[in-house]
Amino acid sequence: MLPNNLNRARRRRAALVALVVAATVALAGCNSSDSSTDDGPAAGGPWLDEAKAAAETAVKVPTEIAVKALGPVEPPASMTVYFVGCDQSIPGCVAQVEGVRQATEALGFDLEVCDAKSDVASFQNCMSQAVNAKPDVIVNNARPSADASEAYAEAHELKIPVIGQFTAQLPDPEKGNTVEVGNVCQIEGELLGSYIVSESGGKANVAIFADTVYQCNGQRADGVKAVLDTCPSCTVSVDRFSVATAQTDLPPALQAKIQSNPQLNWVVSTPGFSGVMAADAVRQAGKEDGISVGTFDGDEPTLALVRQGDIIKADVASGVYENGWTVVDAALRLKAGQTIPDNIENPTQLLMTQDSAPKSGTYEGADGFRDQFTALWGVS
């Protein structure tokens, strides 16, 4: 028979071994859970199939401009277009001016541009200048007509048509925009939402940040959320900010969201420059491998990251120069007295990923869009 002190020592060793084994099993179980790609039951249903189908179509470059269905239109001998542009410090706003500039130069028309910046007073001032210039047509890029109601009333009194471009408003020939070009903001959001649902396998946890100055950004957020709301295994939140104060207000808001939601795997931010800010926030938080960013407008700094697969994984844009050509096409049809169905003309869209983004530059528009427009206009 062994001495009591030896029995006690053996019992202590046995208990220690049992504790080590139990701890090892528990640790192995935790490591297995952390490394697994399956965080729950497999997601699936018609909503996922629809999202995958929409995303698959959205990455294919369109071959035809949408307005081709309207048929030819004969340009007048001359025309003056007055373009009231959104804040020219924003790359997407600069692109809208460039598209109109290209189209007016192709026709030999005159173009005047006023930078309405991001405040209401500057927009009102630009609209007043536009009316006083008495052009053939005024273009309002991105601002609601109510922000310059007096200028709109004067334009209507003088029978100067106003074309809205990405204003997120429906046409109102009596008091607002005679025609709307780019009534696609919610569509753009739905395309990005479909891609996120598809890529996440229906397990997206998404934080959306949308600007409030330009209403198109709010509609984009609505579009993303509408698709995510069809996904029962997805989670989404929406926060708002102003482009006027984005440089100071948005970074801490992004960081707070990232730190407060450990399950977050996607951030969507609009307009495009804020997508780069979201990517910076993800990098600073050390979450590059866990959180992807989606955005809009096809700005070059954004696409540089998309091409590398570096945090920003998707960018949806309506042809950034095709937009402007579509505006000029609408102006020609108004001048010629042609009917535009629903008073709406739209450009085409592309969802740009690492595989579908142009190797350089951005998505300018459907293949050969410039030649397609000039063919409709009968010019070479």
Instruction: Identify the band that residue 43 occupies on the pLDDT scale cut at 50, 70 and 90.
Output: confident
- pTM over 0.85? The answer is yes
Same domain, 163 and 87: yes
Same domain, 306 and 204: yes
- pLDDT > 90: percent of the chain: 88
Q: Is the pLDDT of residue 211 over 70?
A: yes
Q: Is the pLDDT of residue 181 over 50?
A: yes
Residue-wise pLDDT tens digits, 249-281? 999 999 999 999 999 999 999 999 999 999 999
CA 327, CA 323: separation in Å to the nearest integer?
6
Angle at 37 between CA 46 and CA 53, to 5 degrees: 25
Same domain, 286 and 341: no
What is the per-residue pLDDT for 44?
86
Contacts of 329 (CB under 8 A, 6+ apart): 67, 70, 73, 103, 345, 373, 376, 377
Same domain, 195 and 287: yes
Residue 379 in 3-state DSSP? coil
Q: What range defines the domain where residue 236 resides?
A: 46-60+186-318
Residue-wise pLDDT tens digits, 82-131? 999 999 999 999 999 999 999 999 999 999 999 999 999 999 999 999 99
CA dihedral over 332, 334, 336, 338, signed as positive or negative: positive
Contacts of 267 (CB under 8 A, 6+ apart): 206, 207, 208, 209, 254, 257, 258, 278, 281, 282, 291, 292, 293, 294
Same domain, 168 and 99: yes
Residue-wise pLDDT tens digits, 302-341? 999 999 999 999 999 999 999 999 999 999 999 999 999 9
Residue-wise pLDDT tens digits, 13-31? 444 333 333 333 333 332 3
274: number of CA atoms within 13 Å, CB side?
A: 29
Average pLDDT, the chain: 91
Q: Is the pLDDT of residue 37 over 50?
A: no
Distance of CA 233 to the CA centre of its chain: 23
Q: Is the pLDDT of residue 233 over 80?
A: yes
For the chain, the residue count is 380
What is the per-residue pLDDT for 42?
59
Q: Is the pLDDT of residue 35 over 70?
A: no
Number of domains comprising the chain = 2
Given 303, 318, 333, which residue is the final one in a domain? 318
> Residue 68's CB: how many other CB atoms inside 10 A?
14
User: Mean pLDDT, to the nearest integer, of 34-57?
Assistant: 75
Q: Does residue 15 lie within any of the structural domains?
A: no
Nearest to 250 by CA among 297, 210, 304: 210
What is the per-residue pLDDT for 380?
82
Structure tokens at 210: 């949308």
